Homo-oligomer: A and B are copies of this chain.
Amino acid sequence: MRIVMPLFDRFTALDVVGPYEVLRFLPDAEIVFAAATPGPVRDGAGRLTLTAEAAFAEIASGDLLLVPGGPGTRGLVHDDALLGWIRRLHGTTTWTTSVCTGSLLLAAAGLLDGLPATTHWNAADLLESFGASYTPERVVFQGKIVTAAGVSSGIDMALSLVELLTDRTTAEAVQLAIEYDPRPPFDAGSPDKAPREARDLLARSLRR
């Protein structure tokens, strides 16, 4: 199956690489990184460069579309060429998926009108402004559209997709292969769990 992952300037690297490291185990996975122009694409933190090997124009179909998020999404919600490409791909997919603020692009493309979806907790209002109904779950299934919450949630989403595309034992084998037995040293991974001081610090001073 062909898995298409669009890249764009200022994407978030873990949104892409988390699911990549899971989906690559699918027995017949053919993963394609695509961009407006093939070549190096810089991430949102400005220090990491992934290579896109195909142009959007070369990719007319895909079995699984995974749209990552990142600061770059804010400038792309009015990019008619990209949004049209997402709509066309969606017409060919078995699964259309996003991680983090990638769902803003699905919504801006008109795929989430009135539908439940998730995104990074900090972009909930923005997602709703594009017509989706924000749902504060880690992964939201809505027909063939699957949206995941912020950044690291793409790993959880991808494991569920592997189960749906194969079977539970295969998905468990992939979880074991990447030793995904998470032990966060703190319990601050969502706004309702993080201490106020951490929320304030993030709002005030950390790079987004």
**B-binding residues in A (CB < 8 A):** 12-14, 17-18, 20-21, 24-25, 27, 31, 33, 40, 45, 47-51, 53, 100, 120-121, 138-139, 149-153, 155-156, 159-160, 163, 168-186, 188-191, 193-195, 197-199, 201-202, 205-208
B201 touches A186 (CB 8 A): no
B173 touches A156 (CB 8 A): no
- Provide the residues of chain B in CB contact with A184, threshold 8 Å: 155-156, 159, 175, 180-182
A113→B40 CA distance, assembly (Å): 40
- Provide the residues of chain B in CB contact with A49, threshold 8 Å: 50-51, 53
Q: Enumerate the 6 nearest inter-chain pairs by beta-carbon distance, A residue then B residue, closest first.
A: A150-B179, A181-B189, A172-B188, A172-B198, A182-B182, A49-B51
- Provide the residues of chain B in CB contact with A206, threshold 8 Å: 25, 27, 170, 173-174, 177
Contact of A190 among B50, B120, B149, B179 (CB under 8 A): B179
- Provide the residues of chain B in CB contact with A24, threshold 8 Å: 45, 47, 207
18 A-B residue contacts at CB 8 Å? Answer: A12-B21, A13-B17, A21-B151, A31-B45, A138-B181, A151-B180, A156-B185, A169-B197, A172-B186, A173-B198, A173-B201, A173-B206, A175-B186, A175-B198, A176-B189, A176-B202, A177-B202, A179-B190
Q: How far is the CB of A94 from chain B (nearest CB, A)?
A: 19
- Provide the residues of chain B in CB contact with A53, threshold 8 Å: 49
Chain B minimum-CB-distance residue to A155: B152
B189 touches A182 (CB 8 A): yes
Contact of A181 among B33, B176, B193, B201 (CB under 8 A): B193
